[in-house]
Structure 1
Amino acid sequence: MKLYIETLGCAMNMRDSEHMIGELKKQGYRATDDVKEADLILINTCSVREKPERKLFSEIGQFARLKKPGAKIGICGCTASHMGEEILKKAPSVNFVLGARNISKISEIIHKDKAVEVSIDYDDSTYVFDTARNTGVKALLNISIGCDKKCAYCIVPHTRGKEISIPLDLIVSEARKLASKGVKELMLLGQNVNNYGVRFSTPHQRINFAGLLREISQIDGIERIRFTSPHPLHMDDEFLEEFASNPKVCKSIHMPLQSGSTKILKSMRRGYSKEWFLNRASKLKSLVPNVGIGTDIIVGFPGESEEDFADTMDVLEEVGFDTLYSFVYSPRPHTESYDWGENGKIPQEVASERLARLQNRHKEILKEKAKQEIGSYHRVLIENTKTGLESFSEGRSDNGKLVKIPGEILTIGEILDVQISENDGGSLIGRWVR
């Protein structure tokens, strides 16, 4: 039997899809890239995307037309969590609905026509998922599920439930298994990874995220550890010092700012201030001068004045983010800010103009930083090669920069010293230092 799966959204969804593929492999399914030959079609949905419901039903209609007779369609993930039975009512071609907190039930639900499993109180934090397939030199690894935060714009707590940490022994066991398959770099996943240890569903030794990093770094074969996304509120000194001193922890970090205005941050229910964020970023830079810092920013959140936006620009200037994901605020159903209606709404043209200013200044900052890279050295994990007229190898540096090495076909999985010679549209170009 053949399985086709479409994954929308974040790295957490990607890992959930890997888990479902692994579980269904035990049921005799093998993955295919051709939806027309699939016996089972899964859409792993995201609720953070703009107009996610419209996107979902468009996909369902397309797959219903393409699928072969007898093939089943299952809707999984976050949109499945909050829509539940409504999906079956609107799309009769769907055979079952499986929420983001229930993916360990995939092997059962495929045999139950019109079943709906979307409880956000279900706990599969101690479930041992089957390995999906060979992952290469990099792999994703969940360390927690759910989220306890109540950010005014975010639907995740409504779709993934309360935060529960996965037991240490299960994480270490999975990491060792991945290392034995040749994985060199782990990406630890959680809605708030650095809040690890806040709650376990079974009796467990006391451990925090810094302790978890120390445990994983002792595993032979694991050379690099990354994680996403940490919450600025939980960036205490112990965490930052472990980040800086642990040689296996990559020196790149995503710090979701969302807004530089303390007033707007309070309205967003983020739990920290502009001053706290800048303090944490400053300490990071003092501990790791070449640290790569990325962020998310929402422009035009309800009530944002020009002065509030100026605060965001201030943080952009002071931190000099290496990566920036920025968006105009868009209300999402089932969130607190959605219920505000027109209160404090920022005109679209104003928000779009602010976004353009933010993004244009960030491009200028990246150009300025790129000039400083010429002649510098980076340790690069080779992730990809291309042969032909323009053969090259490429990978990421310890601090998260994409580096291309022209004219070299290097071994995937090697970590090599590369000297940067030029910059090409954000990608660094260099030569292998033998």
Structure 2
Amino acid sequence: MKLYIETLGCAMNTRDSEHMISELQKKEGYELTSDAKDADLILINTCSVREKPERKLFSEIGQFAKIKKAGAKIGVCGCTASHMGEQIIKRAPSVDFVLGARNVSKITEVLHKPKAVEVSIDYDDSTYVFDVAKNTGIKALLNISIGCDKKCAYCIVPHTRGKEISIPLDLLLKEANKLVASGVKEIMLLGQNVNNYGARFSVPHEKIDFAGLLRELEKIEGLHRIRFTSPHPLHMDDAFLEEFARNKKVCKSIHIPLQSGSTQILRAMRRGYTKEWYLNRIKKLRSLVPDVGISTDIIVGFPTESDADFQDTMDVLEAVRFDTMYSFVYSPRPHTESASWGQEKEVEKEVASKRLAILQNRHKEILKEDAKKELGKTYTILVENNKQSPVEVFSEGRSDNGRLIKIQGEFLDIGSFVEVEVVATDGGSLIGKSKAVKA
């Protein structure tokens, strides 16, 4: 039996797909295929955060229904499945089952129930032990919590993933050790608000916070690097930042979602922090880790955003000079507070698009300016990718602080740690030359 899976959206969805794959491999004997035409089961793991997710979903269903072989099943999973439920089957009879983002552990159950719909956001699989998928590689994802308690005005996640529950420490340590034993060298911890870990468990549990979890993971022999996403600025207290700086296995690269630089807009978004708090946390972080890599998310054109509000966002961009920035024009999502505010609060699309272009163009300039400052610096990278062909030979990997460095003309083993000197730039990209391969 062959399985084809299409994963849309965030790292959390990617991890959910890995869990479903491992369950189907272990319990049903499925093997992955890259060709949907050969599949006995086609899964679409959906995302509600992307623009026009429903249109995307039904377009994909239609395409798969045309090409699937006789007897093959189609399952719709993930966040859009959570909030649409049985509507999906009503609109697309070719779909055999619907599985919500909070119900991943039920994949082998719904597979055998015609037209099954399992989308409860109250279901708790925080103590369910998933098997480690085959061929994990050198990097792996590890969920440390499910759900979200925040009430951000623009976000649908609480409606698709339910209340926040942390996964017990003993289960996390067991899974992390399994991953390392399978060859994983770097683990990415996942949660909607990872640095709120320990706020709530569904079973009796010793008191622990995110800093404590990082200390426990640091003890795992053979684990070289720990990354995580996404921490919430509101929970970035000094204890968290000091552990981030102290812990030798925690990579000095961090994603800190800004969303807006305007305190007024942040209040409307219900983010819980101010522009001043955000900049204060950046200042504290850089006092502890001067060369820290910082990435962010920014929404442009949120309802009521004025020119002055947008300028506040530009001010933060200039002050922080993010290494990576994911930026988007606001678009309403079903079941969110801001979707009900009405057109009178909306920012004209032309205005929002213009602001986004200004933001992104300035960020590109910053990347070019800062890339030149990297010349001559030496980093240790974990080789993540390589290619050897008559046309091109290269290797590339990331430094501890998140710098992606390409080594042209050298074919290095994936999983090796290599000392690299930055010798050139290509726009905002870095080109390196290897100096030494480490054990």
Q: Distance in 2 between matches of 1:365 and 1:111?
A: 53
Normalised by the length of structure 1, the TM-score is 0.99
Task: After superposing the two structures, state which structure 1 stretch, 403-412 or 7-16, moved more.
Answer: 403-412
* Pairing partner for 2:420 from 412, 418, 421: 418
- Indicate the residue corresponding to 1:270 in structure 2: 271
Cα offset, 1:59, TM superposition: 0.5
Work out the percentage of aligned pairs sharing the same amino acid: 75
> Following the alignment from structure 1 to structure 2, what is the Cα–Cα distance between the partners of residues 87 and 225?
38
Deviations 1:89-128 (A, max 9, x none): 0000111100000010001110000110000000000000
Deviation for aligned residue 1:384: 1.4
Deviates more, 1:320-329 or 1:398-407: 398-407
Alignment of structure 1 residues 337-352 onto 2, 5 Å = 337-352=338-353
Looking at structure 2, the residues matched to 191 and 165 of structure 1 have their Cα atoms a distance apart, in angstroms, of 11
Number of aligned pairs? 434
Q: Deviations over 1:238-262 (max 9, x none)?
A: 1101111111100110000000000
Q: Which residue in the other structure is 1:149 paired with?
A: 150
Aligned to 1:41: 42
Match of 1:29 in 2: 30
Corresponding residue of 2:395: 393
Compute the displacement of 1:132 (Å). Answer: 1.6
Q: How does 1:302-317 map to 2 (within 5 A)?
A: 302-317=303-318
Deviation at 1:284, TM superposition (A): 0.9
- Three-state SS of the structure 2 residue aligned to 1:295 is strand
- 2:211 maps to 1:210: yes
| 1:10 equivalent in structure 2 | 10
Q: Which moved more, 1:399-408 or 1:314-323?
A: 399-408
Matched position secondary structure for 1:433: strand
Report Cα offsets for 1:278-320 as digits up to 9, x if no partner.
0001111111111110001101100111111111011000011
Query: Any idea what SS the aligned residue of 2:344 has?
Result: coil
3-state SS, counterpart of residue 222 of structure 1: coil
Kindly indicate whether residue 359 of structure 2 is the aligned counterpart of residue 355 of structure 1: no
Tell me by how many angstroms 1:385 deviates.
1.5
Shift of 1:149: 0.3
The CA deviation at 1:414 is 1.6
CA distance in 2, matches of 1:425, 1:5: 35
* CA displacement 1:329-370 (0-9 Å, x = unmatched): 111111100011213111111111111111111111111100
Checking the alignment, whether the CA contact within 8 Å between 2:367 and 2:427 is kept in structure 1 is: no
For structure 2, which runs of at least 5 residues remain unmatched after alignment? none
Distance, in Å, in 2 between the alignment partners of 1:92 and 1:393 is 46
- The SS at the match of 1:5 is strand
Tell whether the 8 Å contact from 2:122 to 2:162 is kept in structure 1 after alignment. yes
Matched, 1:80 2:81: yes
Q: Give the aligned partner of residue 128 of structure 1.
A: 129
SS at 2:414 equivalent:
coil
Say which SS state the counterpart of residue 283 (structure 2) adopts. helix
Structure 2 residue identity aligned to 1:410:
L
Q: Are the counterparts in 1 of residues 371 and 429 from structure 2 also a CA contact under 8 Å? A: no
- Give the alignment of 1:130-279 within 5 angstroms: 130-279=131-280
> 2-side partners of 1:84 and 1:8: how far apart?
17
TM-score, normalised via structure 2 length:
0.98
Given that 2:364 and 2:428 are in contact with CA atoms closer than 8 Å, whether structure 1 keeps it comes out as no
- State how far apart, in whole Å, the 1-side matches of 2:185 and 2:204 are: 31
Following the alignment from structure 2 to structure 1, what is the Cα–Cα distance between the partners of residues 408 and 346? 49
- Listed one character per residue, the Cα deviations across residues 57-91 of structure 1 (whole Å, up to 9, x for unaligned) are 00101101101111111100000000001001000
2:432 matched to which residue of 1? 430
| Aligned amino acid, residue 49 of structure 1 | R
Counterpart of 2:115 in structure 1 is: 114
Taking the aligned partners of 2:161 and 2:307, their CA distance within structure 1 comes to 35
Any idea what the Cα deviations from partners look like across 1:181-225, whole Å, max 9, x if unmatched? 110000000000010000000000110000101111110111000
Query: What is the CA distance between 1:427 and its match in structure 2?
Result: 2.4
Question: C-alpha separation between the residues in 2 aligned to 1:164 and 1:76?
Answer: 20
2:418 is aligned with what amino acid? L
The one-letter code sitting in structure 1 at the alignment partner of 2:115 is: K
Letter in structure 1 aligned against 2:313: T
SS at match of 1:174: helix
